[in-house]
Amino acid sequence: MRWTPGGSTEDVEDRRDEGGGGGGGFGFGGMHIGIGGLVILFILSLVFKQNFFALLSGGGGAPATTMSRPNPALDETEKPLVQFVTFVLNDTQKTWDEALPQQAGVPYHHAKLVLFRDETYSGCGGAEAATGPFYCPADEKVYIDLSFYDELKQRFGAPGEFAQAYVLAHEIGHHVQKLIGVENKVRQLQTTHPGEANSLSVSMELQADCLAGVWAHSTQQRGLLEAGDVESALHAAAAVGDDHIQQMTRGRVQPETFTHGTSQQRMDWFNKGLQSGSIEACNTFSQH
């Protein structure tokens, strides 16, 4: 991908010198809570759209984290990647600045990107590197531990800059879904129709893949793509398909538990956005 390093933005929140000192849990206002408690609070925060983690910190503000010592060597090693994700973030949001009002009649406002190491907090609860990148609609921020990109390359076999770009563009796609009202409608349907919760989640994730493809269409039109970039993104989409991940981790595939879609579905919907450049083409909910 053709890109220029050195860009900066107020939309990046760098917390890499904060974060936990390990121990399998998070510190909140002098309390230590294990992963089971985190899961419960995370679910409550999503369902009721309130920050239940604030209860552990006396009801005010964000939960406190244990400060770790800065790592200048790691900071320097990650510098090129920080510059790249900053470029991708800026370019993705600039694309939606124009495309969202034109195609959906909705003004676009920027999401924030939070870079962290190991663990941090979010408006949706605790965040860990092990959970992978995610978008939190409560605070409109994307959370990424940059070590995920090493895992994407080494464990999932999806190297390349555009594979990394696809991941971030997918998360910004979730922000677009919130702005056009899809995210809220899906959460309501999941509450009223719990039996369809997984299939609705799959539709939402596939639409985010398609929206990432809409951005990729823009980069293609502007001559930013190089040979192999599209294949790199498609490989990344395939690598994080539910069937592929389940086969890797469990040795068997359980379609009834899918929440993101198969490798083929993820590639197909990214490609649909890439070919069309249109939000309208990203209707993954036609079966609901």
3-state secondary structure the chain: CCCCCCCCCCCEEECCCCCCCCCCEEEECCEEEEHHHHHHHHHHHHHHCCCHHHHHHCCCCCCCCCCCCCCHHHHHHHHHHHHHHHHHHHHHHHHHHHHHHHHHCCCCCCCEEEEECCEEEECCEEEEHHHCCEEECCCCEEEEECHHHHHHHHCCCCCCHHHHHHHHHHHHHHHHHHHCCHHHHHHHHHHHCHHHHHHHHHHHHHHHHHHHHHHHHHHHHCCCCCCCHHHHHHHHHHHCCHHHHHHHHHCCCCHHHCCCCCHHHHHHHHHHHHHHCCCHHHCCCCCC
3-class DSSP state for residue 213? helix
| Average pLDDT of the segment spanning 216-231 | 88
What domain count does the chain have? Answer: 1
**In this structure, which amino acid lies at residue 21?**
G
What pLDDT, on the 0 to 100 scale, is given for residue 123?
94
Residue 91 pLDDT exceeds 80: yes
What pLDDT, on the 0 to 100 scale, is given for residue 277?
96
In angstroms, the Cα distances linking 129 to 27, 133, 134 are: 16, 8, 10
What pLDDT, on the 0 to 100 scale, is given for residue 153?
81
Residue 49 pLDDT exceeds 80: no
Kindly state the DSSP code that residue 242 receives in the 8-state scheme. H
What pLDDT, on the 0 to 100 scale, is given for residue 45?
55
What pLDDT, on the 0 to 100 scale, is given for residue 44?
56
Is 18 within a domain? no
Is 57 within a domain? no
In angstroms, the Cα distances linking 260 to 86, 105, 205, 207, 239 are: 26, 28, 5, 10, 12
Dmax of the chain from CA atoms? 53
| Average pLDDT of the segment spanning 24-35 | 38
Is 53 within a domain? no
Is 6 within a domain? no
Is 70 within a domain? no
**In this structure, which amino acid lies at residue 75?**
D
Residue 240 pLDDT exceeds 70: yes
Residue 233 pLDDT exceeds 50: yes
Residue 212 pLDDT exceeds 60: yes
What pLDDT, on the 0 to 100 scale, is given for residue 184?
95
Q: Are 261 and 206 in contact (CB under 8 A)?
A: yes
**Residues spanned by the domain of 139:** 79-282
CA distance 153 to 224: 22
What pLDDT, on the 0 to 100 scale, is given for residue 284?
96
For Cα atoms 122, 123, 128, give the angle at the middle one, nearest 5 degrees. 25
Beta 119-122 vs 134-136: how paired, if at all? unpaired
What pLDDT, on the 0 to 100 scale, is given for residue 248?
84
Q: Report which of residues 150 and 220 the model is more confident about.
A: 220
3-class DSSP state for residue 114? strand
**In this structure, which amino acid lies at residue 200?**
L
Is 103 within a domain? yes
Is 49 within a domain? no
- Average pLDDT over the chain reads 82
Please state, for a pLDDT cut of 90, what percent of the chain lies above it.
Answer: 50
Kindly state the DSSP code that residue 227 receives in the 8-state scheme. T
Q: What is the pLDDT of residues 264-281, one digit of tens each?
A: 999 999 999 999 999 999
Q: What is the pLDDT of residues 99-145, one digit of tens each?
A: 999 999 999 999 999 999 999 999 999 888 888 899 999 999 999 99
Name the band, by pLDDT with cuts 50, 70 and 90, for residue 62.
very low
| Average pLDDT of the segment spanning 225-234 | 83
Is 23 within a domain? no
Comparing 37-41, 83-87, 91-95, the range with the smallest average pLDDT is 37-41
Q: Which of 51-55, 72-76, 144-148, 273-277 has the highest mean pLDDT?
A: 273-277
What pLDDT, on the 0 to 100 scale, is given for residue 158?
74
Q: Report which of residues 16 and 43 the model is more confident about.
A: 16
